[in-house]
A and B are shown apart, each in its own frame.
Chain A
Amino acid sequence: MSELNQRALLRGVPLSVHLDVTYRCNERCEHCYLDHDGDGEMDTAEIKTLLDQLAASGVFFLTISGGEPLIRPDCFEIIEHARKLRFNVKFKTNAVLIREKQAKRLRELNVEQVQISVYSHRAEVHDGISKVPGSLKRTIAGIRLLKSHGLKVTIANVLMKGNLEDAEGVRLLAAEVGAHYTLDPTITPMMNGDTSLLRLRISSESLRTVFQNAHLVGNVDDFCAPPPPVDEDALEGYPCSAGHTACYVSPRGEVYPCVQFPISCGNVREQEFSDIWQHSPQLLEVRSIRGKDLSTCSSCNHLGTCTRCPGLAYMEGNMRGPSTADCEKSFVRTGIVSAGMLARDHSSAPPGLIQIRPFAA
């Protein structure tokens, strides 16, 4: 797969696209970074045209997500069109609306994988986070239906203060239903810049416990090993695939480097996708950044191994700067203080979050 990524990178091909077909949702998860406004959504024809353009640009991996995509009456028409274009389709849903008919159709369409968020194995905790009584029961019923039709299911567990004790319970639930399990302790600000969700992030001490759990991280010694010396590859490398071989398209047609990187690069209602991908000044800027160009991180011991998210850094005010959450992860994982943490110690200015910016042609 890394060879495929490398090939795509060399040719400037957007290998992966995450497409949210709606922001509307039938749950109100307390950590969700999206609004739930359906205004301005692309219609069926617009999305089909976009999919045609994505295929022509070389996109291979397509994630269809939301909001809750099954809220759209044309959801299966969209997936069917995507599969006719031979995308590898990953489908993200809360599975509350999955019944026999939907599970069967997803299988018939050869959807590669269905990813479903489960916050706890206990209804009072999961439903407390989703704000929908009975949602865990319906989600698990949906997962079982998908599995009964032979679909690959991943249970994604977002870890936050409210469900901290339940990671093991969700992992066991995933094993019981035959689903793959992933855990993510990342809580991001809302796309409009609102940081109030960050109160839900787990503490450093809790994060340390997670990083010491072999069930969750694999080999703990390897995972928590001190970073190797920073080498040329790290200095000349780029931070992640955002804007290089991947991007995000919102339900309103806005193109961003990533779902967690809210700098608008253009709108597919005004320009062809390929034009945005190849010529957007914002994408060109993102693509130009190498490890050596990072204002603080270029001198950090963690440069080669940090999970630094340029989108979170951007939301803190500088896409070339550190991301506080990732500085913390590197520190908690290895016990070695990051350059970003040292810089913050010497600065009294709090990081200012900027809001999503309209695209300026």
Chain B
Amino acid sequence: MNEIYVARSNAVAARELGGEMMIMSATDSTLFSLNETATVIWQAADGKTSLSEIVELRICHEYSVDPEVAYRDAEDLVEELARLGILLLSDQPVRDAQPEVMQ
């Protein structure tokens, strides 16, 4: 399995509201709402931690879900978020990823 590294895009605005992450793209002003588990992945997307580690440590550990199913779902999610310009995907750690300052 090739590792995927995910980093939050600097081009979006984001804020957690009632356990869900509200994200607005600066390019087209579209507003997205991430559910609780998608929010966990967004918050963990530091560009340095691989998606498999995020799923193992932040999803499977917290939600007692089958690891393979969880990873497949997470992979679909990050690909969709990358397509929307919310996340950046790489096959190696992303050096200049912006740290999560405050949520």
Contacts and interface: CB of A to CB of B under 8 A. Distances in A.
Contacts of B24: 60, 88, 112
B12 A86 contact: yes
A7 B24 CA distance: 16
A86 B14 contact: yes
B102 A60 contact: no
A101 interface: no
Given A4-B31, A11-B18, A110 B10 contact: yes
A56 interface: yes
Interface in A34-88: 52, 55-56, 58-60, 83-88
Tell which of A7, A58, A86, A88 has the most Cβ of chain B within 10 Å.
Answer: A86
A230 to B, nearest CB: 32
B57 interface: no
A110 B14 contact: no
Interface in B70-102: 98, 101-102
B22 interface: yes
Given A1-B31, A110-B11, A110-B26, A56 B102 contact: yes
A83 B22 CA distance: 15
Contacts of B26: 88, 110-112
B29 interface: yes
B65 interface: no
Given A1-B31, A110-B26, A112-B29, A88 B13 contact: yes
Contacts of A332: none
A86 B10 CA distance: 8
Contact of B18 (A7, A59, A110): A7
Contacts of B98: 84
Nearest to A51: B102
Given A1-B31, A110-B26, A112-B24, A60 B11 contact: no
A153 interface: no
Contact of B22 (A60, A84, A111, A152): A60
B1 interface: no
B15 interface: yes
Contact of B17 (A1, A11, A52, A87): A11
A84 B17 contact: no
A11 B19 CA distance: 11
A58 B17 contact: yes
Contacts of B101: 55, 84-86
Given A84-B98, A110-B12, 17 more contacts: A4-B22, A7-B18, A11-B17, A58-B17, A60-B24, A85-B101, A85-B102, A86-B13, A86-B14, A86-B15, A86-B101, A86-B102, A88-B24, A88-B26, A110-B11, A111-B26, A152-B29
Interface of A: 1, 4, 7-8, 11, 13, 52, 55-56, 58-60, 83-89, 110-112, 152
11 contacts: A4-B31, A7-B17, A52-B102, A55-B101, A84-B98, A85-B101, A86-B101, A87-B13, A110-B10, A110-B11, A112-B26
